[in-house]
């Protein structure tokens, strides 16, 4: 299983990175490569095309429905449905929280109700229920954020990748990350600056979750432009002794 960071800027795109989007690839027993996205936030569809054509995607798994995690689904619909070479024969499976289809359709603003159904086959998560998808097993765990949000545990090739989505510390996040080979974890807040709870993690709290879950490696992501990455990294090192990296656009990581 391989992770490719497409966008990792928190809350809105930065000058150097789109918002959240992660390409995950794995090969099935017939040597076919499957490609899924974890989120597709503002500006991510452009650089995604450096690695995969829109019609080569097998599925999209949305952690939650804030624009910085899903709004480029509107652009992807245009790329799929209006391609002069013809739209794909099969609709693209999309998984997300309750009301995902309605949220995306409202964002797109099409005058004809149900238009996105031409290209998307939308499914809503059942919390804690694993989804078998090609070589992947994806388990959504509801996490702590002001809207319905999920951490995603992705298993394939004997490896485990956990993506936090947006969340503060909570027991479900620990379970989602349990013994993961790589914990792709948001760290939007900074200790000593951001006092609000129930929204985002700090680097320190991300490190605590990683330690409690027993993960092998931590990758910090979703850093807003006003964060100093070195500060967030240092705070995570206070609570996690294992390897820590910072997500960056184009960064590839092979698991385990």
Rounded-to-integer distance, Cα 22 and Cα 253, Å: 11
Number of domains into which the chain is organized: 1
For 112-162, how does the pLDDT look when each residue is reduced to its tens digit (9 = 90+)?
666 899 999 999 999 999 999 999 999 999 999 999 999 999 999 999 999
- Which pLDDT band holds residue 65 (cuts at 50, 70, 90)? very high
Q: What is the pTM of this model?
A: 0.97
For 1-18, how does the pLDDT look when each residue is reduced to its tens digit (9 = 90+)?
999 999 999 999 999 999
Weakest mean pLDDT among 81-90, 163-172, 180-189 = 81-90
Higher-confidence position of 256 and 243: 243
For residue 143, the model assigns a pLDDT of: 98
**Is residue 165 within 8 Å of residue 150, measured between CB atoms?**
yes
For residue 207, the model assigns a pLDDT of: 98
Q: Which domain holds residue 199?
A: 2-254
| 62: pLDDT strictly greater than 90 | yes
For 222-251, how does the pLDDT look when each residue is reduced to its tens digit (9 = 90+)?
999 999 999 999 999 999 999 999 999 999
Which CATH number goes with the domain that contains 112?
A: 3.60.15.10
Structure tokens at 160: 């485990």
- Which pLDDT band holds residue 111 (cuts at 50, 70, 90)? low
For 171-202, how does the pLDDT look when each residue is reduced to its tens digit (9 = 90+)?
999 999 999 999 999 999 999 999 999 999 99
| 53: pLDDT strictly greater than 80 | yes
Rounded-to-integer distance, Cα 191 and Cα 152, Å: 25
For residue 114, the model assigns a pLDDT of: 67
For residue 3, the model assigns a pLDDT of: 98
Rounded-to-integer distance, Cα 114 and Cα 89, Å: 18
User: Scanning the structure block, which residue is given the tokens 């500060």?
Assistant: 231
For residue 256, the model assigns a pLDDT of: 87
Within the chain, strands assigned E span 2-7, 21-27, 33-40, 59-61, 92-96, 120-124, 131-133, 136-142, 150-156, 159-163, 182-186, 218-221, 244-246, 252-254
């Amino acid at each position: 299983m391989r992770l490719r960071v497409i966008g990792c800027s928190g809350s809105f795109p930065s000058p150097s990175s789109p918002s959240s989007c992660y390409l995950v690839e794995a090969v099935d027993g017939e040597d076919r490569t499957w490609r899924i996205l974890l989120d597709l936030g503002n500006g991510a569809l452009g650089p995604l095309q450096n690695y995969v054509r829109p019609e080569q995607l097998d599925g999209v798994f949305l952690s939650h429905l804030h624009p910085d995690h899903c709004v480029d689904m509107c652009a992807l619909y245009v790329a799929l449905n209006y391609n002069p070479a013809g739209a794909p024969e099969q609709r693209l499976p999309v998984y997300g929280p309750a009301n995902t289809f309605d949220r995306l359709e409202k964002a797109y603003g099409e005058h004809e109700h149900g238009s996105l159904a031409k290209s998307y086959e939308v499914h809503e998560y059942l919390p804690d229920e694993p989804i078998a998808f090609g070589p992947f097993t994806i388990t959504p765990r509801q996490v702590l954020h002001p809207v319905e949000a999920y951490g995603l545990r992705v298993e394939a090739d004997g490896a485990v990748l956990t993506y936090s989505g947006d969340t503060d510390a909570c027991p479900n996040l620990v379970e989602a990350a349990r013994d993961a080979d790589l914990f792709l974890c948001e760290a939007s807040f900074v200790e000593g600056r951001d006092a609000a709870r129930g929204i985002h993690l700090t680097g320190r709290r991300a490190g605590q979750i990683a330690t409690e879950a027993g993960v092998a490696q931590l990758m910090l992501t979703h850093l807003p432009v006003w964060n100093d990455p070195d500060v967030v990294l240092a705070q995570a090192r206070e609570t996690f002794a294992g390897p820590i990296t910072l997500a960056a656009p184009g960064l590839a990581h092979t698991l385990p």
